[in-house]
Amino acid sequence: MFSKILIANRGEIACRVIRTARRMGVRTVGVYSEADGDARHVRLADEAVCIGGSAACESYLVAERLVDAARRTGAEAVHPGYGFLSENADFAEACAAAGIAFVGPPPGAIRAMGSKAAAKALIEAAGVPLAPGYHGERQDPDYLQDRAEAIGYPVLIKAVAGGGGKGMRLVERSEDFAAALGSCQREALASFKSPDVLIEKYLRRARHIEVQIFADRHGHCVHLFERDCSVQRRHQKVLEEAPAPGMKPAWRAAMGRAAVEAARAVGYVGAGTVEFIASESFLDDGCFYFMEMNTRLQVEHPVTEMITGQDLVEWQLRVACGEPLPLHQDQLGIRGHALESRIYAENPAQDFLPATGCLLHLVPPSESINVRVDTGIEQGDEISPFYDPLIAKLIVWDVDRDAALARMRQALADYRIVGVTTNVEFLSRLVACPAFVNADLDTALIERSRAFLFPERTDPPRSVFYIAAVAGLLEEHAAAAERAVRSGDPWSPWSQHDGWRLNIQSRRTLTYRSGDTRYEVAVAYELDGWRLSLGGESVLARGRVLESGRLAGQLAVELDDRRLVASVIAVTEKQEQKRHVFLDGGNYVIVRDDPLHLVEAGDAHGGGLTAPMPGKVIALLAGVGQHVARGAPLLILEAMKMEHTITAPKDGMVRAFRYAAGEQVADGAELVDFETDG
């Protein structure tokens, strides 16, 4: 076994590899960019090397610096993780030339599967079924559109060198093809340095099922069963599970054989994933098609580990140093059911727009044999615009799917994140969505369940304001007690903060705001608590901080005869005193109005024509002086390797663009001078 390895990656996967390496007695070398100097993976590694600037193209994508870091630190092997250079054949060859083992497949296998078009030709020759499409070398737009017409709409345009949902566009109509192709090629060039695409028939109500394979240098190859990855947004996975619900043993065996044949066709070694698209009738007829092969460990590998009891990173290290596979096919089996939710800094209500910012408060659910949290981020860390906004992967396991769903619902309800917008509440709705609960799965599940997943905004329940009030009153009481201790006379009645008044009951009003609505909570001090009144309703409230157990640090609040457990996190953002009330799986954000410092609510961003995050302007789509209709595209902003179109908020005229194509913009920067009609 290796004595020291370098991890050519960052964040969650770097921490994941370090965990297994440490258990195996293998020392680790971390690498970091200027933006990651104090990142968790740097703190966990036995040693670390700075490899360049904050942008990935200046650090994590520079093969020479990674190889040099491995050579200088005496690392015997490089684990590439996923993303970045994990599927780069040139990097694998550079490692080999330097006498350093690459924890992954041979360069030839990476090249064979790195091009989706070339991979499909190889796989077709191996007898694995392919979906109808065009996978050729000719790339002129008119010819590609002719191929799309021949295949029949809807079609998917996919980057030949792509992955992770980037460089992919669904086209429903012929008139939309040219714009979608241009956008797809730009994103593919930015993400993978190649604009080449292929075209496939888009299967409606299709399931995305992938098979984990493993091969060694001794001719052995096995599959570790399947994962269902059908639940996606923007063609990127959101929630994965293993095994695939409803999978018949015969279909599992057929898909496993096809995956192993695909691996053998390219002389594969190490961990890989063969991805299939299955038709709506799959559970009845077993009809599936090869999509692509990922020549690396997948983000969702933990669900496979949970149902098989195997550590796939340990398998990778053992195979890379020449050992045979730890188990044969007949020694592998499925136990229970596992689910993985990807916790992202993003806004689902705004088409899953990525978010940036500081994690002011971060408390994940407690880990156990049933709950696992893979993360590269801790409280106080920054979600920067330079990398993927993944906060963590939440993985749960139980004896069957229903029990695993219950575990996931509870674990999501226990997550506490303040400082950036996240998808936690969306995921909570997703695992409670009837279509998902009933395993009615396909890649369009989110779109066809929009009414359930994206409900209309409603006012917070009154209990939220009561809980916020109790939290504030308890905080005031604790602060007064601390001041009393410091005063030298802690028992003085003048040091108490209990609302006592001579011959009169003490009363006050706490004012909160949710949206544009103000809520005034009247507080009357009682001997055994507070009488709280809101909107004609009155309750006797008591509260205390829980000191031990799974709920330690949360509030136990009694409202008359009802007892609630909640968390209240107070932060100041943009001069507003915000209260994040975590209750029953929801995160209710309300504002405490200070009567001495009222902040007017309103649109401070000029009609929404501001940068939603730091990024780069890559195209101006309207002319100065041009009159446009509401919703017309004005410019395209690239952020986190994804394109975001800024549109006209109303009918009006473009007076000026503040930035030219190619220029960087800051979060909240005014992009367009726009004059609305009237």
Which residue's structure tokens are 């460089």? Answer: 167
Angle ∠(275,278,279) on CA atoms, nearest 5 = 160
Please check whether residues 375 and 278 belong to one and the same domain: yes
Total residues belonging to the chain: 678
Task: State whether residue 440 is helix, strand or coil.
Answer: coil
Q: 212 lies in a domain?
A: yes
Query: Where are the strands (E) in 219-355, listed by range?
Result: 221-233, 236-242, 270-278, 288-294, 337-344, 346-347, 353-354
Please check whether residues 444 and 303 belong to one and the same domain: yes
Residues 311, 122: Cα–Cα separation, whole Å: 30
Q: What is the mean pLDDT of the chain?
A: 90
Query: Where are the strands (E) in 353-500, listed by range?
Result: 353-354, 357-358, 361-363, 371-375, 382-383, 390-398, 416-418
Residues 6 or more apart in contact with residue 541 via CB below 8 angstroms: 466, 469, 470, 529, 530, 531, 532, 557, 558, 559
Residue 257 is part of a domain; what is its CATH number?
Answer: 3.30.470.20
Please check whether residues 150 and 62 belong to one and the same domain: no
pLDDT in tens, 288-307: 999 889 999 999 999 999 99
CB 413 within 8 A of CB 431: no
Bridge partners (DSSP) listed for residue 519: 512
Query: Which tokens is 101 given?
Result: 């083992």
Residue 649 is part of a domain; what is its CATH number?
Answer: 2.40.50.100
Residue 152 is part of a domain; what is its CATH number?
Answer: 3.30.1490.20
Q: 124 lies in a domain?
A: no
Please check whether residues 425 and 363 belong to one and the same domain: yes
Residues 6 or more apart in contact with residue 498 via CB below 8 angstroms: 477, 525
The pairing of beta strand 207-215 with beta strand 197-201 = unpaired
Bridge partners (DSSP) listed for residue 113: none
CB 371 within 8 A of CB 341: no
Q: 597 lies in a domain?
A: no
Bridge partners (DSSP) listed for residue 392: 343, 375
Please check whether residues 311 and 444 belong to one and the same domain: yes
Write the DSSP symbol of residue 138: -
Residue 579 is part of a domain; what is its CATH number?
Answer: 3.30.700
CB 619 within 8 A of CB 676: no
Please check whether residues 472 and 441 belong to one and the same domain: no
Q: Report which of 265, 333, 314, 405 is spatially closest to residue 18, judged by C-alpha positions.
A: 314
Which residue's structure tokens are 């995050």? Answer: 613
Query: Where are the strands (E) in 108-235, listed by range?
Result: 133-134, 155-163, 166-171, 197-201, 207-215, 221-233
The predicted structure's pLDDT at residue 166: 78
Residues 355, 385: Cα–Cα separation, whole Å: 8
**Number of C-alpha atoms within 13 angstroms, CB side, residue 411?**
30
CB 505 within 8 A of CB 498: no
Residue 56 is part of a domain; what is its CATH number?
Answer: 3.40.50.20
**Around Cβ 475, how many Cβ atoms within 10 Å?**
13
Query: Which tokens is 324 given?
Result: 């045979």
Please check whether residues 306 and 426 belong to one and the same domain: yes
**Around Cβ 493, how many Cβ atoms within 10 Å?**
8
**Number of C-alpha atoms within 13 angstroms, CB side, residue 386?**
19
Q: 109 lies in a domain?
A: no
Q: 547 lies in a domain?
A: yes
Q: 123 lies in a domain?
A: no
Write the DSSP symbol of residue 130: B
One-letter amino acid for residue 58 of the chain: E
Domain end point (choices 429, 453, 477): 453
Please check whether residues 620 and 588 belong to one and the same domain: no
Please check whether residues 79 and 153 belong to one and the same domain: no
CA 67 remoteness from chain centre: 29
Interhelix angle 177-192/141-151, rounded to 10 degrees, is 120
Please check whether residues 331 and 425 belong to one and the same domain: yes
The predicted structure's pLDDT at residue 605: 35
Please check whether residues 374 and 418 belong to one and the same domain: yes
Q: 264 lies in a domain?
A: yes
Angle ∠(306,307,309) on CA atoms, nearest 5 = 65
Taking the model in full, what pTM does it have? Answer: 0.83
| Active site amino acids | 296
Task: State whether residue 47 is helix, strand or coil.
Answer: strand
Residues 315, 272: Cα–Cα separation, whole Å: 12
Domain end point (choices 453, 484, 502): 453
Low-confidence ranges of the chain (pLDDT < 50): 596-607
- How far are the Cα atoms of 278, 486, 653 from residue 627, in angstroms, in the given order? 46, 67, 4
Residues 353, 155: Cα–Cα separation, whole Å: 24
Domain end point (choices 155, 178, 201): 201
Query: Which tokens is 192 given?
Result: 């993978």
Please check whether residues 432 and 563 belong to one and the same domain: no
Q: 118 lies in a domain?
A: no
The predicted structure's pLDDT at residue 449: 96
Q: Report which of 8, 5, 7, 10 is spatially closest to residue 376, judged by C-alpha positions.
A: 10
Report how many domains make up the chain. 5
Residues 141, 147: Cα–Cα separation, whole Å: 10
The pairing of beta strand 615-620 with beta strand 353-354 = unpaired
Angle ∠(6,8,13) on CA atoms, nearest 5 = 100
What range defines the domain where residue 157 resides?
132-201
